């Protein structure tokens, strides 16, 4: 048994979709969550800036007695995972490969769609990983730059013409490609899954990358003993906004209100 | 004559609407522009974080031989102007008072609307300044949180149902209040002025806060001598995105491509 905590970080509140799944499937684990709310979003920034921010996020989590770090952010996982993993002395789990593995199990036709931030799509890492694992796959990527602001402003519901119009536009080329599996390669996007599913139709399987990463963690880490795990939350801006948005991502209340940390010290 | 440069900063690319107006009315001036593209947006962050970032932006501009600093960002002007002005040894000009002065000249009915970021609206500074200058005014403020992402993604044109729907929603209470003057209290918003004007109708005067600040600078500073001014641009993330978006805000090409600076060093 390994009672050390699991560190999880994201650019902001989106990574809580991974924490939610960790709570469901590994309720004994202590979790330390960091959300970089003072510098969110990451997905529109350059690879150098994303790497710099990711290194600071890892250094902050290394202050705690942790057994692994989950990068619950597709942008960081796509752009900086290998570099920070090589520099860090605990296992680092990203969301990209777990999401790919789930998509490879789900697809019947070999046509897979991937939607994410501009940085994730530009990195090309999803297409490389999927086709390396199974040559001949047809992978279709599409950036959805307004989905993160929509999720952060609660504009995610069926019947709202704003997310519905943008989802129809962004997803049109993915639909035209006839995919049967769609990776939501941004931890904010599961909040829009109702609207996305309406556009894609019932025959397309949606893959939640944060949940996939959480399931991958369970298969990999020595678990904590039989007890109730505790989760602490840290953010780099005033915790008020995070505390207000978090229950929607966690699908339940925060166990503790978030604490503030100055990430530029790391 | 004072040939020292004018420093201008903003959270990102939006402050170029003020630079555009400076170019038009003060073509002899050298300008040093800083856009904090590595940490944009500011308008969703807490007052403490906004003040911290503003202080770093000012310290960067103070490296140059400048005669004044224009805070071409309503969020910083609303939240941090007085503090950084008290700490700095050159005049600091914000956008709030110049925009208020222009609105006070424009209104006939005394009913003024103000739209801006969440931080600007929460600060309440526009209502305080306007009613201090003219008691009895009726001021109506409204945050438009998705306008900045729309502007940064080029979703600003008439005929696009996404900005049109959001503009109708955000502006409904302002319209219902029967304002005759509307302050665009965010330097991104002039890009949406076509859509905003369609909703508000031809009888409402729109006030561009960046342009107002530029006009205020002209009235206040000893000008440069008779020569062609030069503008240098600095950003805190990869300049590529800035260089691509900037011509839309400047309504013309960049004189020099932007240079990158690590703002966390300041």
Q: How many CA atoms lie within 13 A of A140 on its CB side?
A: 17
Measured from the Cβ of residue B30, the count of other Cβ atoms closer than 10 Å reads 20
- Quickly tell me which residue has 């005049």 as its tokens: B91
* Whether A49 and B238 lie within 8 Å, measured CB to CB: yes
Query: Over 90: is that where the pLDDT of A233 sits?
Result: yes
Give, to the nearest 10 degrees, the angle between helix B209-220 and helix B16-25.
40
Distances (CA, A) of B175 to B116, B140, B196: 15, 10, 11
Is B60 buried (19+), middle (13-18) or exposed (0-12) by CB count in 10 A? buried
Q: What is the mean pLDDT of residues A18-46?
A: 96
Type and span of the H or E element at A21: helix A16-25
CA torsion sign, B235 to B121 to B218 to B191?
positive
Nearest C-alpha neighbor of B123 from the set B53, B205, B185: B185
B167: nearest Cα among B113, B106, B209: B113
Is A100 a catalytic site residue? no
**Minimal C-alpha gap between A136 and chain B (Å):** 34
- Would you mind telling me the total number of residues written for chain B in this entry? 266
Residue of A45, A237, A264 lying closest to B237 (CB–CB): A45
Q: Is B166's CB within 8 Å of A165's CB?
A: no
Interface test with A, best of B156, B162, B261, B266 (most A CBs within 10 A): B162
Q: Smallest Cβ distance to A38: which of B37, B49, B240?
A: B49
Mean pLDDT within B97-126: 97
Residue B152 has pLDDT above 90, yes or no: no
Exposure letters B74-107 (e unless 16+ CB within 10 A, then b): bbbbbbbbeebbeebeeebbbbbbbbbbbbbebb
Burial class (CB in 10 A: 0-12, 13-18, 19+), A51: middle
B40 pLDDT tier (thresholds 50, 70, 90): very high
With both helix axes pointing from N to C terminus, report the angle between A209-220 and A96-106 in degrees, rounded to the nearest 10: 100
Q: Which domains does chain A have, with CATH numbers?
A: 5-94+212-265 (3.40.50.1860), 96-209 (3.40.50.1860)
- Side-chain-facing half-sphere of B211: CA atoms under 13 Å: 15
* Cβ contact A33:A8 at 8 Å: yes
Mean pLDDT for the stretch of residues B68-95: 96
Q: What is the CA radius of gyration of chain A?
A: 17
The answer to whether the beta carbons of residues A163 and A191 sit under 8 Å apart is no
Residue A20, SS3 per DSSP: helix
Provide the pLDDT for residue B149: 92
**Around B255, how many Cα atoms within 13 Å sit in the side-chain half-sphere?**
16
Distance from C-alpha of B139 to C-alpha of A26, rounded to nearest angstrom: 52
Q: Which two tokens stand for residue A237?
A: 């801006």
Q: B16, B19, B73, B217: which one is catalytic? A: B73
C-beta atoms surrounding A222 within 10 Å = 10
| Best of A38, A122, A152, A166 to mutate (most B CBs within 10 Å, chain B) | A38
For residue B52, the model assigns a pLDDT of: 97
Asked whether residue B60 carries a pLDDT value surpassing 90, the answer given is yes
Q: How many contacts does A have with B, using Cβ atoms within 8 A? A: 61
| pLDDT at B114 > cutoff 90 | yes
**pLDDT above 90: residue B84:** yes
B100 assigned to active site: no
Q: Is the pLDDT of residue B72 over 90?
A: yes
Q: What is the pLDDT of residue B58?
A: 98
- What was the pLDDT predicted at A185? 97
Instruction: At A79, list the tokens.
Output: 């752009």
Q: What are the DSSP E strand ranges found in B94-191?
A: 111-116, 138-143, 181-185
Query: What pLDDT digit, counting tens, does each position of A71-122 carry?
Result: 999 999 999 999 999 999 999 999 999 999 999 999 999 999 999 999 999 9
**Average of per-residue pLDDT across B125-150:** 96
Count the alpha carbons within 13 Å of A223 in the hemisphere toward its beta carbon: 17
- pLDDT score, position A152: 86
Question: ipTM of the predicted structure?
Answer: 0.87
Instruction: Report the pLDDT value the prediction gives residue A93, as an integer from 0 to 100.
Output: 95
How far does Cα B104 stand from its chain's mean position? 18
Query: In chain B, whose CA is at the least distance from the CA of A147?
Result: B149
Q: B35 - beta bridge partners? A: B10, B235
The span from the CA of B245 to the CA of B72, in Å, is: 17
Question: What pLDDT, in 10s, does the model give residues A160-196?
Answer: 999 999 999 999 999 999 999 999 999 999 999 999 9
Which residues share a beta bridge with A232?
A: A32
pLDDT at A117: 94
Q: Which residues from chain A sit within 8 angstroms of residue B155, using beta carbons?
A: 146
């Amino acid at each position: 048994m390994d009672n050390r905590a699991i560190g999880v970080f994201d650019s902001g509140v989106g990574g809580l979709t991974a924490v939610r799944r960790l709570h469901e499937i590994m309720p004994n684990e202590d979790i330390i969550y960091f959300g970089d709310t003072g510098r969110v979003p990451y997905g529109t920034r350059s690879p150098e800036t994303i790497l710099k921010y990711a290194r600071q996020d890892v250094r902050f989590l290394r202050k705690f007695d942790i057994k692994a770090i989950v990068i619950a952010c597709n942008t960081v996982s796509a752009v900086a995972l290998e570099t920070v993993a090589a520099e860090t002395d605990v296992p680092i789990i990203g969301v990209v490969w777990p999401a790919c593995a789930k998509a490879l199990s789900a697809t019947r036709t070999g046509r897979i769609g991937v939607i994410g931030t501009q940085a994730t799509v530009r990195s090309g890492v999803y297409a490389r990983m999927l086709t390396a694992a199974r040559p001949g796959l047809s992978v279709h990527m599409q950036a959805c730059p307004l989905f993160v602001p929509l999720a952060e402003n609660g504009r995610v519901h069926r019947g709202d013409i704003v997310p519905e119009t943008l989802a129809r536009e962004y997803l049109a080329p993915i639909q035209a490609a006839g995919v049967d599996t769609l990776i939501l390669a941004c931890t904010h996007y599961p909040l829009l899954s109702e609207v996305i599913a309406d556009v894609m139709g019932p025959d397309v399987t949606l893959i939640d990358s944060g949940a996939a990463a959480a399931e991958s963690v369970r298969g990999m880490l020595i678990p904590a003993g039989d007890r109730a795990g505790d989760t602490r939350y840290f953010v780099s801006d005033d915790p008020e906004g995070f505390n207000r948005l978090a229950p929607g991502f966690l699908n339940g209340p925060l166990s503790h209100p978030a604490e503030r940390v100055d990430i530029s010290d790391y």
